[in-house]
């Protein structure tokens, strides 16, 4: 097991196209896709599909949604020994409404994800299995890690020599970024997109937002800029890495998770952070060419 991914697991129900939802009327749409989702599952599937032996840490219900997810995980040989089922909770579910501009809006119930805590990060066990990296996905949609218990686990991971990364997903909880800051001194690379960076720091300029993250102690910040690529901000300065143009834009769901998977896989192969950004941009572009968060890994 080279990589460990800790984060949310959902069943995604994606509907396209849905531009508006009338309050008291029905509507029709052209396509629907039901598949595993959630930042944790998405990144883990991507890493495993890229040939990186990967373990997923997360919580699900004991239901048909979990069984469906397990079928997909088996297809990419994902190690799920650290995925726990909770029969008193449903598997988290997200209904995604994708508009004509390929932008999703989600209606979400966390389900068993709300039981996931920092205690589920068994760093010693991960290390004994050969882990070299730890990724935390969907930070602000994991209420069980917002209590200050995550930084000591990240510190332990760093002390054990793991390459640590953390990604956020937009949430109303981002209005108070206080729980994030103590984590950053123990994170090698922090991922977010431009809108998230602005929300967290109050800085409209992505480069200045990156400087705020550095001031909080992170090793490097990668701010995703969509069709403009990404910014890499570290102690050596700021570098903009151009995007890989997609052949078409169908759905942006999961593009950030595909970026993270490509980036982490590149670092584990010995690539520099700038080279890893190139890989991240490439796989982010592949993700938007297909419908759904993980379809690019399964074709």
Give residue-wise pLDDT tens across range 3-54: 999 999 999 999 999 999 888 999 899 999 999 999 999 999 999 999 999 9
Determine the pLDDT at residue 285: 98
Percent of the chain at pLDDT > 70 equals: 100
* Cβ within 8 Å of residue 71, ≥6 positions away: none
Determine the pLDDT at residue 299: 80
Give residue-wise pLDDT tens across range 198-246: 999 999 999 999 999 999 999 999 999 999 999 999 999 999 999 999 9
Determine the pLDDT at residue 123: 99
Contact between 162 and 192 under an 8 Å Cβ cutoff? The reply is no
Q: Which burial class, exposed, middle or buried, applies to 236 when counting CB atoms under 10 A from its CB (0-12, 13-18, 19+)?
A: exposed
Determine the pLDDT at residue 170: 86
Q: Strand ranges (DSSP E) for the chain?
A: 3-7, 10-16, 31-37, 54-61, 79-86, 92-98, 104-109, 133-137, 163-167, 189-193, 220-224, 230-234, 237-241
Helix pair angle (255-268, 39-49), 10° resolution: 50
Q: Region 93-112: what's the mean pLDDT? A: 94
Q: Region 167-187: what's the mean pLDDT? A: 95
Domains (range + CATH), the chain: 3-9+37-89+111-298 (3.40.1190.20)
Helix pair angle (273-288, 255-268), 10° resolution: 150
pTM of the model: 0.97
Q: Say how far apart CA 196 and CA 33 lie, in whole Å.
A: 26
Peptide bond just before 17 cis, omega within 30 deg: yes
Q: Region 269-283: what's the mean pLDDT? A: 99
């Amino acid at each position: 097991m080279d990589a460990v991914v800790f984060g949310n697991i959902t069943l995604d129900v994606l509907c396209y196209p849905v531009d508006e939802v009338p309050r008291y009327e029905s509507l029709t749409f052209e396509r629907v896709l039901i598949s595993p989702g959630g930042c944790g599952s998405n990144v883990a599937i991507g890493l495993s599909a890229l040939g990186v032996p990967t373990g997923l840490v997360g919580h699900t219900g004991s239901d048909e949604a979990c069984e469906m997810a397990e079928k997909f995980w088996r297809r990419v040989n994902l190690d799920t020994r650290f995925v726990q089922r909770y029969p008193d909770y449903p598997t988290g579910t997200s209904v995604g409404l994708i508009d004509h501009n390929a932008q999703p809006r989600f209606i979400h119930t966390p389900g068993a994800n709300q039981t996931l805590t920092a205690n589920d990060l068994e760093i010693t066990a991960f290390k004994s299995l050969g882990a070299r990296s730890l990724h935390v996905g969907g930070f602000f949609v994991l209420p069980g890690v917002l209590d200050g218990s995550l930084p000591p686990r990240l510190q332990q991971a760093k002390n054990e020599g793991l390459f640590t990364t953390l990604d956020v997903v937009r949430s109303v909880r981002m209005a108070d970024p206080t729980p994030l800051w103590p984590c950053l001194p123990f994170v090698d690379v922090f991922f977010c997109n431009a809108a998230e960076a602005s929300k967290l720091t109050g800085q409209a300029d992505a480069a200045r937002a990156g400087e705020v993250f550095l001031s909080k102690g992170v090793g490097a910040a990668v701010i995703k800029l969509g069709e403009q690529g990404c910014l890499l901000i570290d102690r050596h300065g700021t570098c903009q890495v151009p995007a890989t143009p997609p052949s078409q834009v169908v759905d942006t769901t999961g593009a950030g998770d595909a970026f993270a998977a490509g980036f982490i896989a590149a670092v584990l192969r010995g690539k520099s952070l700038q080279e890893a950004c190139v890989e991240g941009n490439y796989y982010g572009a592949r993700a938007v060419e297909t419908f759904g968060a993980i379809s690019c890994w399964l074709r």
